[in-house]
């Protein structure tokens, strides 16, 4: 696994940065729950020169708000093709190689097969095919601080872990 060379990490949202549950209220609103430690870890990665991207198949105002709060500039929601979404981000300045992709479901395997992705990471509560294809499976399940674990692994591999 080439974590020492990773220059950018692409995260899925539902099932990775959240527990994958979608809650609808009676008045039609949608709720998502993000782990606060993930936010701090995503910022830590960016502070140490690792570009962060979010590619998700759904559209959600909560994702827009959370990525804005964290200063994540590379965001694509409503992606019908995650590979095409990554190509679009690369055209906009996201790194084109030495990437890690983090996903939990079968549509995330498009990222695992992308030429620029050298490491595919899944979560223990992910789809069996995603887990089978993963170079790394986090100990923490989706929504429980996955980015915390990944940030530590990447920054330690690159001798940038500040703690």
Does 151 map to a domain? yes
Does 114 map to a domain? yes
> Domain of 120: which CATH number?
3.40.50.1000
Residue 3's CB is within 10 A of a number of other CB atoms, namely 20
Full residue range of the structural domain in which residue 53 is found: 3-157
Backbone angles phi, psi at 66, to 5 degrees: -65, -45
Q: List the one residue out of 99, 90, 86, 83 whose CA is nearest residue 154.
A: 99
Does 73 map to a domain? yes
| Residue 93 buriedness (CB in 10 A; 0-12 / 13-18 / 19+) | exposed
Does 132 map to a domain? yes
Q: Are 155 and 42 in contact (CB under 8 A)?
A: no
User: CA-to-CA distance for 80 and 76, rounded, in angstroms?
Assistant: 10
Q: List the one residue out of 133, 132, 89, 121 whose CA is nearest residue 15.
A: 121
Does 123 map to a domain? yes
DSSP assignment, residue 144?
S
Does 163 map to a domain? no
| Residue 147 buriedness (CB in 10 A; 0-12 / 13-18 / 19+) | buried
**38-57 tens-digit pLDDT:** 999 999 999 999 999 999 99
Question: What is the mean predicted confidence (pLDDT) over 119-142?
Answer: 98
β-bridge pairing 30-31 and 23-24: antiparallel
CA dihedral sign of residues 120, 133, 77, 83: positive
Does 13 map to a domain? yes
**60-93 tens-digit pLDDT:** 999 999 999 999 999 999 999 999 999 999 999 9
**pTM of the complete model:** 0.96
**16-36 tens-digit pLDDT:** 999 999 899 999 888 899 999
Does 46 map to a domain? yes
Query: What domain count does the chain have?
Result: 1
């Amino acid at each position: 696994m080439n974590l020492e060379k990773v220059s950018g990490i692409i995260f899925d949202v539902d099932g990775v940065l959240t527990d994958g549950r979608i809650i609808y209220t009676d008045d039609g609103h949608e709720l998502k729950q993000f782990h606060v430690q993930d936010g701090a870890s995503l910022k830590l990665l960016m502070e140490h020169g690792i570009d962060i991207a979010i590619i998700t198949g759904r559209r959600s105002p909560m994702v827009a708000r959370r990525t804005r709060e964290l200063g994540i500039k590379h965001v694509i929601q409503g992606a019908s093709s995650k590979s095409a979404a990554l190509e679009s981000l690369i055209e906009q300045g996201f790194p084109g190689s030495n990437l890690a992709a983090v996903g939990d479901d079968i549509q995330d395997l498009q990222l695992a097969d992308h030429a620029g992705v050298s490491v595919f990471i899944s979560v223990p509560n992910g789809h069996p095919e995603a887990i089978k294809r993963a170079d790394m499976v986090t100990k923490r399940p989706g929504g429980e601080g996955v980015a915390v674990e990944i940030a530590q692994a990447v920054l330690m591999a690159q001798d940038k872990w500040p703690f």
